[in-house]
Amino acid sequence: MGKIVAVTGNEACAQALKQINPDVCAAYPITPATDLMQRFSSYVNDGKVDTELVLVESEHSAMSACIGAAAAGGRVATATSSQGLALMWEMLHIAAGTRLPIVMPLVNRALSAPLNIHGDHSDGMGARDTGWIQIYSENAQEAYDNTFQAFRIAEHLDIRLPAMVCMDGFIVSHSIERVEYIDDADVKSFVGKFQAVNPLLDIDNPKSYGPLILTDLYHEYKRAQHEVMTKVPNIALEVAADFEKMTGRKYGLFEPYRLDDAEIAIVVMSSAAGTTKDIIDNYRDKGVKIGLLKPRLFRPFPYLEIANALKDVKAIAVLDRADSFGGYGPLFSEITGAVMSMDTKPAVTNKIFGLGGRDYLPDQAEKVIDELIKVAETGKVENIKEYIGVRE
Amino acid sequence: MTTKPLKLRELAKGEDRFTHGHRMCAGCGAPIVVKQVLMATDYPIIASNATGCLEVSSCIQQYTAWKIPWMHSAFENAAATISGIEAMYRSLVKQGKIEDKEVKFIAFGGDGGTYDIGFQSLSGAMERGHDMLYICYDNGAYMNTGIQRSSATPFGANTTTCPAGDVIPGKLQHRKDLTRIMAAHGIPYVAQASPANWRDMMKKVQKAFEIKGPKFMNVISPCNRGWRSKTNDAIALSKLAVETCYWPLFEIENGVTRVTVKPK
Amino acid sequence: MSKKFWEELPQGSVVLEAGSSAEFKTGGWRSMRPKWIEENCIQCLFCWMYCPDMSVKVNAEGKREEFDFDFCKGCGICALECPGKKGNKAIVMEEEGK
Ligand SMILES: Cc1ncc(C[n+]2csc(CCOP(=O)(O)OP(=O)(O)O)c2C)c(N)n1
Ligand code: SF4
Ligand SMILES: [Mg+2]
């Protein structure tokens, strides 16, 4: 068993990157991810890693340099949050379309305006369609563990796609938690050696990256890109199985919590799942058959597997820590997408919570559950989408 | 490596590293610039390329004109992209994962991708000190998207976004003096060149490759579509630009400026 | 099982064959055609150096040979830059197909 430490999410992720020892990191500071790369920088400057650190002048350049470095043929990582991710937007698509296995911890934070530095999922959800694999973490341990698994999935020869490892800004990135570290030697054998595919640095076999592809092939390239994404869940499960062998910690495409005989369910991602589990325990004690589903892999989204896990519930509340103004929350849209394949469709409600770091408190969860009990009884949803924890 | 002699007969025996079948317009200056740059040396070269005429015409579908490893990722980031490639090279050599083959790194960008949208990325890469040569082929406007003004467009010029109209006669602003701005970065080598003066240009490239660290060259590159000139005058116009001092040929080596071609 | 068309596309659209544009002939673009008049040629090779389309063939001794009409787009730079012999150009432009 590895060492047990008390660290923040950022610290744990920086430690993971140190143990992985990427060949190149290109990064730019932004709260709350800054602290992660700061820590990593001191590993570089103390000679604890071999990484070439490229301290660029913007996140756009950070991702551009990562793309160049990954195409060159080595292991690459960066980290960012919020505005930084937004500035990378163009390059996120290019990293995925070029099939470069870059790994990026994303410390989730709200987007401007108004300016806010606290945690919500607006940034990650905005990057939903960029072609990146997205893995969401509930706590520091998961963020740490997911980082290793992300490298394995992204670099898998059948995949070669970039991956984001998401954790909630401040709530996870800056809170000290108990984390069990993995021994360096185990990390080394788990992550393995980087295998270059078509490296630019192979001077004797020159390749051209980034051609113009017009109407006669673009559609097919995108079809192929989608196909690769469909292979991710199986690989993610294989990797998780290896990880469990090494650490005893179990990961799936999502985490079901007390779902087996549940009649109602809450779907929520990341740190809010922790709070919700406690409340669910209280309701269970009162005899309410309630469970929780916490998506871990958001891209690709495991629709059928989630539908199967929720097939016996009568009502679902989907809690989104991001909004689509004038639309439903992004997680809600995915869950209703999953529900489409069910024979008997449950009633589904959408609650928008915790934007800009607004606390998600037990009474909010309780209100949602009380309402959900009624929805399950009547089968009727009055307001599909509602803000909770909002001052009125 | 010894510096290659710049004799036409000898050069002509060598193999092109940028080949035919590219789809730049007939008589475009940019491919002439590229071929001269790549021909100046036998060092292995890896290049990045900003979006623009050169990029979009040299690598289409399965057809690439490049015989060197080459990467296009976007418009504003040729410098950042090559800095990532160069960093990976340094990292892998340092770790003993690959052999040091004295690889040289070049970024090619048009004036739009260099003076304007890619300026920050260029400035950043130069400040960080990557071992790279940035080559701007300056044709004085955004040609690929149909001749829009850039900050390299000369005063008074007629472009599609600053057309000579009844009230406003064309571009009202002067050119940005990018070469001097790059020199102000305090980098070891900055130069201006013209494809008409091929030996001068190739000497500059050779010199740049012998210097470690960031280098910048600004090269005039006539565009007959944008300049509304003839398809045969790219070299004649780049010669004229030098002779009239519109495009002086000089270099700034470690802060010392030297005019390399004195117009008569 | 046979693969679908899109499954055979190169990963990440990388072009693996260097200089493959040589398979794409641009000679058909030409409306004007350069004519090489060998007796006026002083072998200065300016035409070779200034050709934007790498369409002036040079042999192993470094001597100019015929144009590569598979690629020459007929821009005419070579003809304009050709110094010729005693004022007689070694390259002249003619209308294509004449
Ligand atoms: C972010 C972004 N903005 C705009 C464009 C559209 N665009 C493509 S090439 C180009 C102009 C290129 O001009 P320049 O760099 O001078 O090169 P040239 O085409 O003149 O050789 C523009 C505006 C783009 N591709 N990306
Ligand atoms: S538009 Fe101008 S710069 Fe672009 S390929 Fe044509 S001649 Fe060259
Ligand atoms: Mg231009």
Closest CA to A10 of A30, A25, A1, A26: A30
Tell me the pairing of strands A315-320 and B45-49.
unpaired
Domain with CATH 3.40.50.970 in chain A: 4-246
The residue behind tokens 């040609």 is B143
Q: For A206, phi and psi rounded to 5 degrees?
A: -65, 135
Cβ–Cβ gap C18/A206 under 8 Å: yes
Residue A351, strand partner residues:
A319, A386
Model ipTM over 0.90:
yes
Tokens at A57, concatenated: 């002048």
The Cα–Cα gap between B1 and A61 comes to 32
C2 at A interface, C-beta within 8 A: no
In the prediction, which pLDDT does B1 show?
65
Give the end-to-end CA distance of chain A in Å, rounded to a whole number.
50
pLDDT above 80 for C98? no
- C13 part of a folded domain: no
**d(CA B226, ligand 2 centre) in Å:** 7
Residue A32 vs residues A213, A387, C55: alpha-carbon distances, Å: 38, 25, 57
Angle at CA of residue A42, ends A39 and A44, nearest 5°:
115
- C88 part of a folded domain: yes
The residue behind tokens 């989630």 is A306
Cβ-contact C49, B8 below 8 angstroms: yes
pLDDT digits (tens, 9 = 90+) for B104-131: 999 999 999 999 999 999 999 999 999 9
Tokens at B240, concatenated: 């004229």
A98 at C interface, C-beta within 8 A: yes
> What CATH number is attached to the domain comprising C41?
3.30.70.20
Which residues line ion ligand 3, judged by CB < 5 Å? Answer: B 110-111, 139, 143
The Cα–Cα gap between B133 and B121 comes to 14
Mean pLDDT to the nearest integer, C65-77: 98
Cβ-contact A139, A271 below 8 angstroms: yes
List the single residue in C22, C60, C79 with the smallest CB-CB distance to B19: C22
Cβ–Cβ gap A221/C13 under 8 Å: yes
In the prediction, which pLDDT does A149 show?
99
Could you tell me which residues come within 8 angstroms of residue A330 by beta carbon, excluding any fewer than 6 positions away?
A121, A125, A128, A320, A322, A324
Which domain does C40 fall in, by range?
26-95
Domain with CATH 3.40.50.920 in chain A: 254-387
Q: What is the DSSP string of chain C?
A: -PPPGGGGSPGGG-B-STTGGGGS--GGG-SEEEEE-GGG-----HHHHH-TT--EEE-TTS-EEEE-TTT-----HHHHH---BTTB-SEEEEETT-
- C12 part of a folded domain: no
Closest Cα in chain A to B49: A210
> Which class is domain A4-246?
alpha beta
Tokens at A376, concatenated: 């399950």
Helix (H) or strand (E) segment spanning residue A164: strand A163-168
- Express as a percent the part of chain B with pLDDT over 90: 98
The DSSP secondary-structure symbol of A80 reads B
What's the number of domains chain C is made of? 1
B32 at C interface, C-beta within 8 A: yes
Q: Counting ligands in written order, which one lies closest to the CA of residue B223?
A: 2
pLDDT mean by block of 10 residues, chain A; 392 residues: 94 98 98 98 98 98 99 98 98 98 98 98 98 98 98 98 98 98 98 98 98 97 98 98 98 98 98 98 98 98 98 98 98 98 96 98 98 97 97 94
Closest CA to A317 of A372, A260, A259, A386: A372
List the single residue in B67, B71, B88 with the smallest CB-CB distance to A23: B88
Residue of B25, B49, B75 to mutate, ligand 1, most atoms within 8 A of C-beta: B75
A162 CB neighbours in chain C (<8 A) are none
Cβ–Cβ gap A201/B84 under 8 Å: no
Q: Which residues line ligand 1 (CB under 6 A)?
A: B 50-54, 75-76, 110-113, 139, 142-145, 150
Closest CA to A63 of B84, B214, C14, B89: B84
- C9 part of a folded domain: no
Nearest-Cα distance to chain C for B90, in Å, is 23
Tell me the pairing of strands B214-220 and C32-36.
unpaired
Using DSSP, state whether A287 is helix, strand or coil.
Answer: coil
Q: Counting ligands in written order, which one lies closest to the CA of residue B227?
A: 2
Nearest-Cα distance to chain C for B87, in Å, is 21
**d(CA C84, ligand 1 centre) in Å:** 39
The Cα–Cα gap between A88 and A82 comes to 10
pLDDT bin (cut points 50, 70, 90) of residue C1 is: low
Q: Is the dihedral of CA B93, A206, A222, A93 positive or negative?
A: positive
In the prediction, which pLDDT does C97 show?
85
Cβ–Cβ gap C12/A97 under 8 Å: yes
Q: What is the DSSP string of B103-142?
A: -EEEEEEEHIIIIITTHHHHHHHHHHT-SEEEEEEE-SSB
Cβ–Cβ gap B98/A209 under 8 Å: no
The rounded mean pLDDT for chain B is: 97
Nearest-Cα distance to chain C for A179, in Å, is 37
pLDDT above 80 for B82? yes
| CATH code for the structural domain at A254-387 | 3.40.50.920
Cβ–Cβ gap C11/A221 under 8 Å: no
Helix (H) or strand (E) segment spanning residue A247: helix A218-247
- C49 part of a folded domain: yes
Cβ–Cβ gap C5/A207 under 8 Å: no
Angle at CA of residue A310, ends A304 and A311, nearest 5°:
85
Cβ-contact B185, B196 below 8 angstroms: no
Nearest-Cα distance to chain A for C78, in Å, is 29
pLDDT above 90 for B56? yes
